[in-house]
Each structure stands twice: as structure tokens, then as C-alpha cells.
Amino acid sequence: MVERKSFLLRLDPAVHDALARWAADELRSTNAQVEFLLRRALAEAGRLPADAGRPPRRGRPRKRPQDPDPPEPDAPP
């Protein structure tokens, strides 16, 4: 796994609150929302490095289509 860099970011409290609400609306952490917005801005400006890795996937892994569903329990008589 690629090491992630961390740094301190100072924000106006109102900006942070708005960002946190937006992140919650999109089911992301505030940190993930900041990275999403920065990556999008870099891509739109043509400045996203070609070697920039993909952001890590978070949350529950997707169910594989080849996994069979569990058998149904027998119905009571």
C-alpha cells in the first residue's frame, strides 16, 4: 500500500462546517471529500499527475456476483 501524506489544514469554521455537511450528504468523510475536491480541481486544470494513485476505496467490499446466496431456511410446517 502506498504511504499517504498528512498535513495540517486551517479552515474558517463556517467553511469546515459546510464541507462536513457536503461530505455527509455524499457519504464521505470530511477528509475524503477534501481529497475528492482537490483531485477534481487538479483534473479540470490539467494538473493531476499521471502517476497519481487512485484514492483508496472505503467501506464495505462489494458482494461478488459469483458468491451464491445463502440457502433459504426451511419454512416451518
Pick the residue with more confidence: 59 or 26?
26
Cα-based distances in Å from 11 to 1, 7, 23, 51, 54: 29, 13, 15, 29, 25
Q: Give pTM, 2 decimals.
A: 0.68
User: Which pLDDT belongs to residue 36?
Assistant: 94
Q: Residue 30: helix, strand or coil by DSSP?
A: helix
Average pLDDT over residues 21-45: 95
User: Which pLDDT belongs to residue 30?
Assistant: 96
Residue of 27, 52, 29 lying closest to 42 (CA atoms): 52
Model confidence pLDDT, tens digit, residues 50-69: 988 887 777 777 777 775 66
User: Which pLDDT belongs to residue 77?
Assistant: 59
